[in-house]
Amino acid sequence: MRCVLAVPVLTACLVLFLAATCPAQQETPAAPPIPEPPAGAVAPRGMDAPPAFMRPHTARPQAARPDLTFAARPAPTNFRGLAWGAPLAKAEGLAPVTQPVPLPGTFHRPDELLRLGQAEIRSVAYYFPKGTLTGVGIVFEGQDNFFLLKDHLIELYGPGRQMGDRYGWTWSNFFIDLRMRGNQGELRYTHQP
């Protein structure tokens, strides 16, 4: 029983001891007011601006980047001597494509040179959809010929641009598009009058 009575007595003694030794809470005096600067005074440099992390972001001026959407050199004006936009009547030596099926407005040269640069090509088709030359399509086979054609076109027109599985050159009214599908490739020249 003595232990049970001793705990409340010890607690009361501790409370009295702490009350006697701790200073009473006093109110802290108010800080003196900040004096106003004299009239016409200028704040020290940098004091009137917010810290850097609070300033709004301003983009730094950058040098103009070259327009990569267009080819670096002029577009071709013809394909193997036949000018873009030339009427079908002025195109000599062309025969209509009839094999494997007839293709309206599509022609080929029976004696066509089946090489372009160092690449071997399988066929060349000339497109006259409205009576004027607006495109040429070339079919070839193999990765070797793809890279030979690409190198040849880079020599002629400068570097092109990769767009997915296509590599090409763009002008305001002319496009060259090179692509591979499996082992067969296609090169297209397209003129838009």
- Residue extents of the structural domains in the chain: 146-180
Contact 82, 128 (CB under 8 A): no
pLDDT value at residue 33? 81
Write down the mean pLDDT value for the chain.
84
pTM exceeding the 0.75 threshold for the entire prediction: no
- Give the integer Cα–Cα distance in Å for 77 and 117: 17
In this prediction, residue 71 carries a pLDDT of: 81
Q: Residue 8 has what pLDDT?
A: 64
104-158 pLDDT tens trace: 999 999 999 999 999 999 999 999 999 999 999 999 999 999 999 999 999 999 9
Alpha-carbon distances of 182 from 152, 160, 189, rounded to whole Å:
21, 22, 21
> Which tens digits make up the pLDDT trace of 51-91?
677 777 777 777 766 655 678 889 999 999 999 999 999 89
Helices vs strands, H then E, count in the chain: 2, 12
CA angle 126, 127, 131 (to 5 degrees): 120
Mean pLDDT score, 161-182: 92
Which amino acid does the sequence have at 165? Answer: D
Interacting residues of 101 by C-beta distance below 8 A, sequence separation 6+ = none
The dihedrals phi and psi of 52, each to the nearest 5 degrees, come to: -55, -35
| Cα-Cα end-to-end distance for the chain | 113
| Distant-in-sequence, close-in-space partners of 166: CB < 8 Å, separation ≥ 6 | 177, 178, 179
